[in-house]
Amino acid sequence: MIIEAEQLSRSFTVAERGMGRGWARLRRGARTVHAVREVSFTVEQGEAVGYIGANGAGKSTTIKMLTGILVPSSGQVRVCGLQPVPQRQALARKIGVVFGQRSQLWWDLPLEDSFPILGAMHRQPESRWRPRFQELAEQMALGPFLGTPVRQLSLGQRMRGEVAAALLHRPELVILDEPTIGLDMISKESLRRCLDFERREHGTTLLLTTHDMSDVQRLCQRVLVVDDGAIAFDGPLTGLAEVAEARRTMVVDFSSPLPGAALVLPPGAVHLGAEAEGIRHRIAFDPRQLSAAALLAAVTATAEVADLSLHEPDIEDLVRQLYTSAR
């Protein structure tokens, strides 16, 4: 068992400025915020888990408790068999952490110079970290910019460097906080490929928070959805899609205006509405029942199609739908 969280809770006391005018505003009150409430879950070795939820749902607070940055207000947590806060440094050798917004690389130095330092910090002799570094550099295609100072790297290049840095010491568990935020498609894909390879090849456990549904689809078999500090869903990705009645949307532009009623749709597709005086139509469909190609064939049979696009459900939508269906 890599992660065991039992009835994990964390609350904060937030100072609030009084609402009055003038000097009355100097008086401050305090309010307790429950960032995480009685969260229980376990993660087995080799699993890849997506930890998703809206902003402020308690994702980063949970991650801080798992990595030893924050003590739980109540409940138990063990990561890699250790207690995160009391055994923080021992734990740091067994896990890799990537914060999407903060760099762990040496900002003014060429990218390659960060790795000897990180290797030494993890007390690994060169004979151990060097081959690993070469392997990672090859997988992430770091070669062309290894000699560039970190501050001059593009976000995509830097994030590839960050992930390589987090994997250098062969951690049992890698925790990634929004690793793909703001990245271009190529960098995203290269990161995902590498993380997936890492898990398959070395049995590394992955836990990532993200806003990007395609991260989860590509990497995780299991998702944990948090809302308002509590776990709202824990299960396989397909299960989430079922619960949330996840649908893809096809947006079709016709050559000439068409009333919505004139569209004849196959089972599994629902007309959501028309825009631009009947030129643009939105059609939702369930990909398990109906393929995009079959839907398109049915639509083109009705009228001439000028343009079309497909949209995946995004995480915020999924989570929202999950709630409307659960309540």
Rule CB under 8 A: say whether 70 interacts with other proteins.
yes
Interface mask toward other proteins for 117-146; x: CB under 8 A: x-xxxxxxxxxx------------------
Closest distance to other proteins from the beta carbon of 52 (Å): 21
Nearest 10 degrees: Cα torsion 189, 163, 85, 106? -140
Rule CB under 8 A: say whether 179 interacts with other proteins.
no
Considering only 80-88, 245-253, 285-293, 306-314, which stretch makes contact with other proteins by CB under 8 A? 80-88
Considering only 47-55, 106-114, 138-146, 293-301, which stretch makes contact with other proteins by CB under 8 A? 106-114
Helices 185-202 + 155-167 axis angle, to 10? 10
Which residue in 9, 62, 67, 205 binds other proteins (CB under 8 A)? 67
Query: How long, in residues, is the chain?
Result: 327
Q: Is 86 helix (H, G, I), strand (E, B) or coil?
A: coil
Q: Is residue 229 a contact partner of residue 37, using CB atoms and an 8 Å limit? A: yes
Q: Please count the helices (runs of H) and the strands (runs of E) in the chain.
A: 10, 13
Considering only 60-68, 140-148, 206-214, 267-275, which stretch makes contact with other proteins by CB under 8 A? 60-68
Identify which of residues 120 and 292 has a Cβ nearer to other proteins in the complex. 120
Strand order in the sheet with 248-254: 269-275, 280-285, 248-254, 305-311
Q: Phi first, then psi: give them for residue 41, nearest 5 degrees.
A: -165, 160
H helices present in 247-291, as ranges = none
Closest distance to other proteins from the beta carbon of 63 (Å): 10
Task: Count residues near other proteins (CB under 8 A).
Answer: 42
In the complex, the residues that contact other proteins under the rule CB under 8 A are 10, 26, 64, 67-71, 73, 85-90, 92-93, 95, 97, 99, 101-104, 106-109, 113, 116-117, 119-128, 149
